[in-house]
Structure 1
């Protein structure tokens, strides 16, 4: 599997997200070992997933597995507070990280992301929290989630640590970041830039985009792979899957991986067979023609 340099981390291009690790009937140990055997060495958590239960299950499964802690990267996200909304105060960030570390049963986190923007954020408080966490050895790398360039720049007025990652929804059915760049100087719907050139901002500032929910369409309306609502897209996915000897799901991941922004893709499945099919397709490199054909099969147009 292709690796991406993120700071001093040589991370797999595919990330296993554990939001669904608490689903009934799942074997979390098998899921982790299948992912690791397929080349995945980066695992994404959040304290909000299962109200902390997912971190506990992940930590226990890691202990039971044959995977060495030092051979993988563990990431979590903090800042969403049930019943409140968002909290980027120094007190909350530090307490949330310590809670996550306890549930994960780890001595440190490889990376910490601020989970969605907090409009009441005070950059100086975040900076104090990050410095304390870094100095104490509890967190090695930092980043954000679902933030735009202006919000990141505001953080950087106080935060001294590099902000290395930004989790954003992206996939062949969530192409807003691409659309705006392709429709520059146009007056159609695709020309609307909702995030002020976030894709280009990320590349210019060497921030790794972590694409979440890559198989969803709409606002969590469901998966598009195999969905009869999207016959043209699925026909093209199947055509390319047959060509490369992988599955349509694998091609949907290859579409993201083909972009030169070196995007990591966060998969949320805990089913070993699904994890394996994604890993098996991780080395597929689509041609430009194939990439654009999928983009247009998804209902997008080119100017």
Structure 2
């Protein structure tokens, strides 16, 4: 699969990451088959979080891939921490404890990337810096990033954290594209002009932070997928037209739309269906034209000024 550099690091990663949030919905044989399918297709980047399945997803993954030293050298592991029941916690103590538990569940000595999952308004960035230093010096984490953070939250961390922030995982899809649409509507008096994220798209591009879109096929906040959905007839007609042109599935076109953006994003899949996973992976070989990208954007109801 085609690869990109993750942020400012020298880490080569597949352009599509395999999300493991729902791997606990599979039985043992299904999980083994799913992981094997991903690996065979060159999708060796696996995204986790300590809250997925209350930790069970990491354990299931480690068992499914038959984790050992040889396997570990062939994969890239990312996990997230910071969400607790009823609160967020970026304290040094919680970050360090979370990573130890993540490593135990994944049956590995290190993470390639650790992301801070949701912004903690009570964060003491000095504590985050201390935690990152401990994790880096001990070899437990090699690269660091964030998730769902806007520019000033990242800047606050960077004031104290010496390690580069290599990734920011954000909700983004054709139908959830405010970070894109607001950039078109500068100084306009309409709903699309509302800047809800502080200009995070341009900020990440300026600072070489890889955006990792999550829920790339969802509309709203987990309301459902827009593909083959009667609520989006014009969008699906355009996607299906392009799918026929490129001889791929509609899933591939929706993922290729994200990959066409020059921000060099790394979308995170959510499917546990092997066929749909392969369709996602194929997007790395589809290069939509500028006209096609804009046609899809407008077909979703996004209005250009």
Q: Fold conserved (TM > 0.5)? A: yes
Matching of residue 44 in structure 1 with residue 47 in structure 2: yes
Q: Aligned partners of 2:40 and 2:191: how far apart in 1?
A: 43
Deviation at 1:196, TM superposition (A): 1.4
Q: Deviations over 1:232-283 (max 9, x none)?
A: 0000110000000100010000000000000000001111111112222321
Deviation at 1:24, TM superposition (A): 4.2
Instruction: Name the SS of the counterpart of 2:24 in structure 1.
Output: coil
Deviation at 1:185, TM superposition (A): 2.0
Deviation at 1:184, TM superposition (A): 1.0
Instruction: Name the SS of the counterpart of 1:144 in structure 2.
Output: strand
Unaligned runs of 5+ in 1: none
Q: Aligned partners of 2:161 and 2:101: how far apart in 1?
A: 22
TM (norm. structure 1) is: 0.97
Q: Please name the residue that 2:76 is paired with.
A: 73
Q: Deviations over 1:20-60 (max 9, x none)?
A: 00004571111111112222121100000000000100111
Contact 1:29–1:65 (Cα < 8 Å) also in 2: no
Contact 1:214–1:266 (Cα < 8 Å) also in 2: yes
Matching of residue 22 in structure 1 with residue 11 in structure 2: no
Instruction: Name the SS of the counterpart of 1:71 in structure 2.
Output: coil
Aligned partner of 1:32 among 25, 30, 35: 35
Contact 2:67–2:107 (Cα < 8 Å) also in 1: no
Aligned partner of 2:210 among 199, 203, 208: 208
Q: Deviations over 1:96-128 (max 9, x none)?
A: 000000000001000000001000000000000
Contact 2:228–2:236 (Cα < 8 Å) also in 1: yes
Contact 1:4–1:11 (Cα < 8 Å) also in 2: yes
Contact 1:144–1:165 (Cα < 8 Å) also in 2: yes
Contact 1:33–1:65 (Cα < 8 Å) also in 2: no
TM (norm. structure 2) is: 0.96
4+ residue segments displaced more than 3 Å: 64-67
Deviation at 1:68, TM superposition (A): 2.1
Q: Aligned partners of 1:66 and 1:233: how far apart in 2?
A: 45
Aligned partner of 2:181 among 165, 179, 182: 179
Contact 1:236–1:297 (Cα < 8 Å) also in 2: yes
Alignment of 1:1-303 (within 5 A): 1-6=1-6, 7-25=9-27, 27-63=30-66, 68-82=71-85, 84-303=86-305
Contact 1:29–1:64 (Cα < 8 Å) also in 2: no
- How well do the aligned residues superpose, as a CA RMSD in angstroms? 1.4
Q: Aligned partners of 2:94 and 2:68: how far apart in 1?
A: 31
Q: Aligned partners of 1:302 and 1:112: how far apart in 2?
A: 37
Aligned residues: 302
Q: Deviations over 1:139-195 (max 9, x none)?
A: 000000000000000001110000100000011011101011111121111111111
Q: Pick closer, same or farther for the CA change 1:105–1:153 going to 2, 3 Å.
A: same
